[in-house]
Amino acid sequence: MSQQTGRSGFTAKTLLTILAVMAVWGFNFIVIKVGVSGVPPLFLAALRFVFSAFPALLFVKKPAVSWAKLALYGLAIGVGEFGFLFTAIKLGAPAGLSSIILQSQAFFTAILAAFFLKEKIRAHNWLGMLVAGAGLVLIAMAGRGNAQTAFPATLLAMVILAAFFWALANVVARAMPKTDGLSLMVWSSVFSPIPLFLLSLAFEGWPAIVSSVEHLAPISIGALAYLVILSTLFGYGVWNQVIIKNGASKVAPFSLLVPVFGVSASALVLGERISSAQAVATLLIFLGLAIHIFAGKIRKR
């Protein structure tokens, strides 16, 4: 008996699976905060993708796409998104707010898709970007002079760059319509560890790497396992598969749930505080995302 498909075009099983991914990714920001406290961020990212590729690629068939596309996806996700995100959180970027800002990937995805895939950007898309952009500016300005709520401009820029590279990976995935999501994640992970390790050597240093390995705590091992198994193999495997089957624009709205889980978990677990100005900025970002994603559909109806 086949599952019923709702108005969204997704089966109930698919919707529940996506919800689970959003919860995993939301809590992921807490895990990153824990992980980078004991392991240098770039080295942690390198380990994440080493174990995302091995030994899984011995059992998962390589997708029928070019090595160039696999490399581009792997570098965008591994070096671009997580290289910047892990480092920003290590340097003090708030986990909860980072989960919100990272959703600007929806705007970058639209812009890159318009440039590379010739998808159209409507007036409501630009309006949504403008509203959310105002929220990002407000976050950069809010909390100055308060160490508990400040979000330094340099760290904000790093998280925005992480969002850009996530968007680039989304567009690359959309250009591979017949690719299995898990195989794409596993085989593209081959290209991330070496550049991440070289960057770790250059910026974090060999002594810090050796020390983190010698004093590797169980909580760091648990964080790495979460990042590899749940966040990467399960999370991106499902995300890529849904994007490939349904299109980036249809799947993008679900990413709005990530910061809901991220902010809630950060407040409960880490005790992070959000100032009133940052709360207003958060609402602006959500409003911008809502306009960007839903305004066109409402107008058509």
Q: Model confidence over 159-211: pLDDT tens digits?
A: 999 999 999 998 998 888 778 878 989 999 999 999 999 999 999 999 999 99
Q: Which of 9-13, 87-91, 258-262 has the least mean pLDDT? A: 9-13
- Alpha carbon distance 185, 34 (integer Å): 24
Q: Cis omega before residue 55 (within 30°)?
A: yes
Q: Kindly state whether residue 6 falls inside one of the protein's structural domains.
A: no
Checking if the pLDDT of 34 tops 80, the result is: yes
The one-letter code for the residue type at 243 is I
Q: Kindly state whether residue 2 falls inside one of the protein's structural domains.
A: no
DSSP code of residue 24: H
- The neighbouring-strand residues paired with 11 are 5
- Alpha carbon distance 44, 105 (integer Å): 23
- Alpha carbon distance 268, 263 (integer Å): 9
What sign results for the dihedral spanned by CA atoms 41, 42, 44, 48?
positive
Looking at the structure of the chain, the number of domains it has is: 1
- Alpha carbon distance 175, 131 (integer Å): 29
Q: What is the pTM of this model?
A: 0.86
DSSP code of residue 11: B
- Asked whether 55 and 61 are in contact (CB, 8 A), the reply is no
- The neighbouring-strand residues paired with 5 are 11
- Alpha carbon distance 282, 224 (integer Å): 29
Q: Kindly state whether residue 240 falls inside one of the protein's structural domains.
A: yes
Q: Kindly state whether residue 1 falls inside one of the protein's structural domains.
A: no
- Alpha carbon distance 251, 143 (integer Å): 33
Q: Kindly state whether residue 171 falls inside one of the protein's structural domains.
A: yes
Q: Which residues fall within 8 angstroms of residue 130, CB to CB, at 6 or more apart?
A: 288
pLDDT at 2: 44
* pLDDT one-digit tens code per residue, 114-131: 888 888 888 888 998 899
Task: Identify which of 222, 237, 233 has the alpha carbon closest to the alpha carbon of residue 51.
Answer: 233
- Asked whether 36 and 221 are in contact (CB, 8 A), the reply is no
pLDDT at 300: 66
Task: Identify which of 6, 39, 1, 45 has the alpha carbon closest to the alpha carbon of residue 246.
Answer: 6
Q: Kindly state whether residue 146 falls inside one of the protein's structural domains.
A: yes
- List the domain range (segments joined by +) for residue 188: 12-300
What sign results for the dihedral spanned by CA atoms 59, 63, 66, 70?
negative
Q: Tell me the residue ranges of DSSP E strands in the chain.
A: none
Q: Which residues fall within 8 angstroms of residue 217, CB to CB, at 6 or more apart?
A: 38
Q: Kindly state whether residue 5 falls inside one of the protein's structural domains.
A: no
> Over the chain, what is the mean pLDDT?
87
Measuring CA to CA, how many Å separate 57 from each of 76, 175, 283?
19, 22, 42
Q: Mean pLDDT across the stretch 153-162? A: 94
